[in-house]
Amino acid sequence: MLDIKFLRDNPDVVRQNIKNKFQDHKLPLVDEVIALDAENRAIMQEADALRGNRNKLSKQIGGLMAKGQKEEAEKVKQQVSEQSARLAECEAKEAELAEKIKSIMMVIPNIIDPTVPIGKDDNENVEIEKFGEPVVPDFEIPYHTEIMERFNGIDLDSARRVAGNGFYYLMGDIARLHSAVISYARDFMIDRGFTYCVPPFMIRSDVVTGVMSFAEMEAMMYKIEGEDLYLIGTSEHSMIGKFIDQIIPEAELPYTLTSYSPCFRKEKGAHGIEERGVYRIHQFEKQEMIVVCKPEEAMMWYNKLWQNTVDLFRSLDIPVRTLECCSGDLADLKVKSCDVEAWSPRQKKYFEVGSCSNLGDAQARRLRIRVNGNGKKYLATTLNNTVVAPPRMLIAFLENNLTADGCVKIPEALRPYMGGKELLVPVK
């Protein structure tokens, strides 16, 4: 959410940013919020004047009463009563206008970084760099669920009967591999100086609207019926929410946290052949990293975060690339974002396995997360990035470590988490 003062002083910048994000339907909101802001400030000035005048009149009443001038005092009391009534009207109007302004400001997109490429959607994202050599083996790579089934590692039919589409049972070595990847990712991030955390898996509505846009909320979040609680779609939600209404001593920054959680998503509009199996699902587990820092350190941490994901995938012999998200592909709160994509030998292309984002002070403004630097308070900057999110990550792992005879190689880094196994052998 933008600072209303910034919008008031830079309306053309805000309009151009909206155009750069191909959200022209939001352009009228700029003039609307400016008009509401002007009305609100006028009401606030009137209310301040009424309060000041009421205080003066109240003092006069005491003086008049002391002099025995009761009639004059009653007249002044009447003025105080009238001004108090008007003040109450002003305060009610002020609250009404403030709520209208907030609701509009919540949907006006954050100002994107100047380095973000301008493009309408994810088809115009820009490749930054490749890491590792993509290989297409001289044998056929089966679909990922077929690979898992050879190990008796997945049961989608039972999951459909129990929970419906978009759920799964992982079994045996595949389930163990899933847990091994999560445990390895946890220790990988701890070794890089991040503090491990297991957060709440449900959050209140004020945290939901603090960490994401309304469009994302509608498309992603599951609401707990009868309670002010939502299932998290990623642990970033509750991790950033941890700092709601906090004033953080500047000396404590940065906070660098890595968190584990199950994640729950509606995945509205998820269709297509590559979304069969465990590619797009309603429930998965994830290791996340988040940073709360000073604004001037944000881009340094942004680059460190995506590099962590690249390094983890390369340690498991999976080629990856980074992709700069264009303006139209950025969620409204984001300043800058890049995706990490893993190589799929079967598809002969890359697919998304993680996303790194700098959100500037947007989440901090919504959640009132402030920093106290030598008596001067300012909003913190927040960033997040996926460490690893199996079981989707398992697709890349299985395809890139599959051998011609159907076995799956276990990279050295993962073997301690797999009981020392170097190879998984299919049972079918």
Q: Residue 353: exposed, middle, or buried by beta-carbon count in 10 A (0-12, 13-18, 19+)?
A: buried
Domains of the chain from N-terminus onward: 4-105 (1.10.287.40), 122-424 (3.30.930.10)
Which stretches in the chain have pLDDT values below 50? 270-274
Note the pLDDT of residue 272: 43
Cβ atoms within 10 Å, residue 390 = 24
> Residues 278, 394: contact at Cβ < 8 Å?
yes
pLDDT digits (tens, 9 = 90+) for 37-87: 999 999 999 998 988 887 787 777 767 776 777 778 778 778 878 888 888
**What is the spatial distance between Cα 123 and Cα 387, in angstroms, rounded to a whole number?**
24
Note the pLDDT of residue 273: 37
**What is the DSSP annotation of 42-104?**
HHHHHHHHHHHHHHHHHHHHHHHHHTT-HHHHHHHHHHHHHHHHHHHHHHHHHHHHHHHHHHH
Note the pLDDT of residue 73: 75
**What is the DSSP annotation of 172-212?**
HHHHHHHHHHHHHHHHHHHHTTPEEE---SEE-HHHHHHHS
Note the pLDDT of residue 275: 58
